Amino acid sequence: MAKPQEIVLAEPRGFCAGVDRAIEIVERAIAKFGAPIYVRHEIVHNTFVVNDLKTRGAIFIEELDDVPPGATLVFSAHGVSQAVQQEAQRRGFQIFDATCPLVSKVHVEVAKLAKEGYEFIMIGHKGHPEVEGTMGQLDHGIHLVEEVEDVARVQPAQTQLLAVVTQTTLSVDDAAEIMAAVKARFPQIRVPKQQDICYATQNRQDAVKVLSPQVDVVIVVGSPTSSNSNRLRELAARLGTPAYMVDNAGELQSEWFEGVSRVGLTAGASAPEVLVREVIDRIKALGATSVRSMNGIEETVKFPLPKGLKIDAATGLEIEVRKAPETGPGH
């Protein structure tokens, strides 16, 4: 039985700037204020990351009722609705907003255009926390479409002032198809100046498009709740390469590698590199002898931390704490 010979690593893969920043916000909050720190929803959609932060003193909650008075609260990278923001402020928590700045950008755009009288069509997955956060920026006038068929069913109150926004972690190809259907039905709809799908999602999908034809199987490291990780697996499969998603090396099945000589490996934007290394070790144990990285885009994006968690570069001392602003980061 042939065994895998070579592992080909997608570039880029793994953590994006928004995930790096969100994790660092929780780590710094714990270091500065002591455990426990409360986090609304999984800070990022990765089991390993969440469990690691739990051991350090993070408590993950869905309902603000579960946060005691006077506690420090972090909003997850996916963003929250206006209702959650307002309730958290009303309860007087010390708030740090780890919403990815690229998600915050969508929130700001929605708020700005809503004041001008716009209604919205949002392309995204129902129930995903990012979608709930973005749709929750308004109390009406934002309509979700998940697939092309949904576009025909949307009934905005008016079509003169209509704009479209998307979840940042969608399949670029799927979103383009739905966007085309939206434009066909509403030709005058306003589209974002730059697409809402984030640079990291786009780059990881582009890398899989290059990787898939070169390999016999694609392994995606990512958790089941991670939208962008699921899209990577679907994309590889759509391109005709068998593809599997694993939360960790323990989920790899030896039969996936039977008769396979070249294994492609990537990781979703919330999956840490330590998990990729463990997967490499496991595939090596099954027979792989070499590992090489594809050429790919080098990402240099870095997002600033919220006030109160920044460290002064000159002195190494933390800058004094202030209440988190009412709006998210990057505004």
> CB–CB of 238/254 below 8 Å?
no
Sequence ranges of the binding site for [4Fe-4S] cluster: 16, 100, 198
- State the binding site: 16, 45, 78, 100, 128, 168, 198, 226-228, 270
Do residues 59 and 71 make contact, with C-beta atoms less than 8 angstroms apart?
A: no
| Token pair of 253 as six digits | 């099945």
| Pick from 188, 181, 155: nearest CA to 166 | 181
Residue recorded with tokens 């909003």: 75
| Alpha helices by DSSP H, the chain | 17-33, 47-56, 82-90, 101-115, 129-135, 148-151, 172-185, 199-211, 227-238, 273-285
What is the distance between the alpha carbons of residues 173 and 63, in angstroms, rounded to a whole number?
35
Q: Give me Rg for the CA atoms of the chain.
A: 21
Q: How far apart, in Å, are the Cα atoms of 215 and each of 34, 237, 239, 242?
A: 47, 12, 11, 9
> Virtual CA dihedral for 197, 14, 301, 207, nearest 10 degrees?
-60
Contact criterion met (CB below 8 Å) for 278 and 248? yes
- Cis status, amide bond into 187, omega within 30 of 0: no
* Residue 309 and residue 29 in contact, taking contact as beta carbons nearer than 8 Å: yes
Tell me whether residue 130 is one of the annotated catalytic residues. yes
Query: Are 317 and 35 a contacting pair, CB within 8 Å?
Result: no
Integer angstrom CA distances of residue 116 from 183, 191, 196, 267: 21, 15, 20, 40
Catalytic one of 130, 132, 146, 234: 130
> Which residues are known to be catalytic?
130
